[in-house]
Structure 1
Amino acid sequence: MKSLKSAARRGGIISAAALSALALASCSAGQITQTSTQVAAVNGAEGNSEDGTVAVRDVTIIVDDAGEAALKFTAINQDTSMTEHTLESIDVNGNDVQFDSTSLARDCVLVGDSADRLETTPQADGIGCIEYTETTLSNDDFAIGGNVPVTFTFDSGEIEVYATISGPQLPAGSFSREPGSESDYTNL
């Protein structure tokens, strides 16, 4: 027969261990981090209209080697009432984006990008409902890696997102950084 003292001690140890595990598991619950509201730059920003009828995805400002800027995005009409929607204007940090406005039927997509990038993008001709539009905007001394507000104005409302500014992407294998070369980091 075991004493009540050792059973109580064992029960106390188990309870203390369970409470410690619970306290450690909930230690960071509810904490707000500095990065909790930031959007990853990899896939661009995204947003939806307040009524959910239209959406934008992969919103990124592209700056090429010559300093020319364009806005890359995909706009989607997801209105369940089968209503066509029109992208009326796009504003990047107070500057208008130049593009060909078009109406989007239900489940149709509008892909915007620079002329050069659209030229190299495979086009989905005859597959689904996809439109392409060339975009340009004045380079307002955009800092690569920064974020600026972008406002899409549709006939059904506005969508505001913070888009990352991206530099040109080098073709794979086109840049080699050998130690001791002119492009070596340590020779700065």
Structure 2
Amino acid sequence: MKSLKATARRGALISVAAASALALASCSAGQITQTSSQVAAVDGAAGSTSDNAVAVRDVTVIVTSEGETGLKFTAVNQDPSDKDHTLKSVTVGGEKVTLSGDTTFASDTSLVADVASQIENLPQGDTGNLKYVKTSLTNNGLAIGGTKDVVFTFDDGEASVTATIAEPPLKSGTEDRDVTGGEE
């Protein structure tokens, strides 16, 4: 016959093990988890004016291998009053960005901006609700992989974000990869 003390000890151990397993399994089982709202860093920064009338998305400072420097972003006019908005100016780390093109955009229209070499790769002609603007910026020591504060000034307010400094993505089909997986 076993002692009552050993049985109680065994029961307590089983209870603690079951409670631990239950607690550990439930950490990520809910809708609200620590990782559910994380976004990829490669998408660029995002922000909006205080009234949310204009949003900026995919904000990235671009430095090409040819030395071209500018700002890539998409500004979206999401004003529920159907008002046109104008991008008056943009600064990167306090330096003014040169904007080439019409920066007034209607309701439900996006203003797509990038360095000239990248804008030329985008579809031209009837683009529906898209307007293109070329950007340029003096490169005063911008290092790829770093970040800079970017301030957008619109007719109805400002939007501030911290943007990554990056090279533009490679054009599709320009890199020949070794698909054999080994030496020949």
1:12-161 paired onto structure 2 within 5 Å? 12-13=12-13, 15-24=15-24, 40-99=40-99, 100-123=101-124, 125-127=126-128, 129-161=129-161
1:120 counterpart SS class = coil
2:16 counterpart SS class = helix
Change (3 A) 1:151 1:101: farther
Q: CA deviation at 1:114?
A: 1.3
Change (3 A) 1:137 1:170: same
Q: Distance in 2 between matches of 1:110 and 1:126?
A: 11
Q: Determine if contact 2:68/2:115 at 8 Å carries over to the other structure.
A: no
CA RMSD for the aligned pairs?
Answer: 3.4
1:91 counterpart SS class = strand
Q: Percent identity?
A: 52
Q: CA deviation at 1:74?
A: 0.4
- In structure 2, stretches of 5+ residues that fail to align are 29-33
Q: Distance in 1 between matches of 2:157 and 2:19?
A: 50
1:149 counterpart SS class = strand
Q: Determine if contact 2:62/2:69 at 8 Å carries over to the other structure.
A: yes
1:46 counterpart SS class = strand
TM-score, structure 2 length as denominator? 0.75
Paired residue for 1:162? 162
TM-score, structure 1 length as denominator? 0.74
- In structure 1, stretches of 5+ residues that fail to align are 180-188
